[in-house]
Chains A and B, each alone.
Chain A
Amino acid sequence: DVKVTQSSRYLVKRTGEKVFLECVQDMDHENMFWYRQDPGLGLRLIYFSYDVKMKEKGDIPEGYSVSREKKERFSLILESASTNQTSMYLCASSLLAGLNQPQHFGDGTRLSIL
C-alpha cells in the first residue's frame, strides 16, 4: 500500500513565523499535492508538483510556497504565518499517468496560528 506520511499531526505556531510542513511518500509517485481543508469549503488545492524541482500553483497559492528537492518529499512553506492560515493541511500523491488519477492522502496536519 502507498504510504503518505506528514511530519506532524498537530502544530501550533505564532503569527509571523515561517512554518514548514513536510510530506513524504514511499511509492515513487511523480505527482504530489498540498491541500487545505476548511469546514464548508471542502478541499482546496494550494500547490502541486509533477516532478522534482517542478511546481504549479493551485487555486489558493497566496501566502504559501513549496519545495520539491527529492521525488519522495514535498514541503509546504508558510512564509509569514497568519491567523487565516489556521486549517487542516493534507498532502497527497499520485502516479504520473495523469493528474486525474486516484490520489493517496496523508493523515493531515492540523495547524493553528496564534
Chain B
Amino acid sequence: SQQGEEDPQALSIQEGENATMNCSYKTSINNLQWYRQNSGRGLVHLILIRSNEREKHSGRLRVTLDTSKKSSSLLITASRAADTASYFCATVRGNEKLTFGTGTRLTIIP
C-alpha cells in the first residue's frame, strides 16, 4: 500500500521560477526521502529528513517536514531546464522498507 501521496500530480513552470511539491502520508514515520527520476532512467536520491527534523537544505533544494500535519514539501529554487523530471517522496516507518508515492511530474519551460 502507498504511504506517501504527492501533490500536484503535474506541474509546469517557467525557467527561473521556484517549484513546490507536497507529500502527505498517513502514519507516523522514521524518515522521509525525496527522489528524482529523469525520463527513462532510475531514481536518484535527493535528500533525507528525519522525523525529528523540520527543515533541510541541499543546494537549491529545501525540504520541510510537519509531522503534526503528516506532510512534507520539496522546494526547488531558481529552476532550470535540467530539473524537468518526476519527483517522488518515500516514507519509512521504523526499520521497515521505503514506501513510494506516485510522484509529481515537473516540467520546466525554457
Contacts and interface: CB of A to CB of B under 8 A. Distances in A.
A103 B96 contact: no
Contact count band on B: 20 to 34
A98 B95 contact: yes
Of A40, A43, A92, A99, most buried by chain B (CB within 10 Å of CB) is A43
B100 A42 contact: yes
Given A42-B2, A100-B30, A105 B97 contact: no
B19 to A, nearest CB: 20
A-B pairs, top 3 by smallest CB distance, nearest first, are A105-B42, A100-B92, A42-B102
A39 B99 CA distance: 16
Contact of B98 (A41, A90, A103, A110): A103
Given A58-B97, A98-B95, 4 more contacts: A42-B101, A99-B98, A108-B41, A110-B40
Given A100-B30, A100-B92, A48 B97 contact: yes
A108 B102 contact: no
Nearest to B33: A102
Contacts of A105: 42-44
Contact of B42 (A42, A45, A100, A106): A106
A111 interface: no
B38 to A, nearest CB: 10
At the interface, is chain B mostly helix, strand, loop or mixed?
Answer: loop
A99 B96 contact: yes
Interface string B39-65: 011111100100000000000000000
A13 interface: no
Of B2, B96, B100, most buried by chain A (CB within 10 Å of CB) is B100
Contact count band on A: 20 to 34
B42 A108 contact: yes
Contacts of A100: 30-31, 92, 94-98
Contacts of B92: 99-100
Of B30, B31, B98, most buried by chain A (CB within 10 Å of CB) is B98
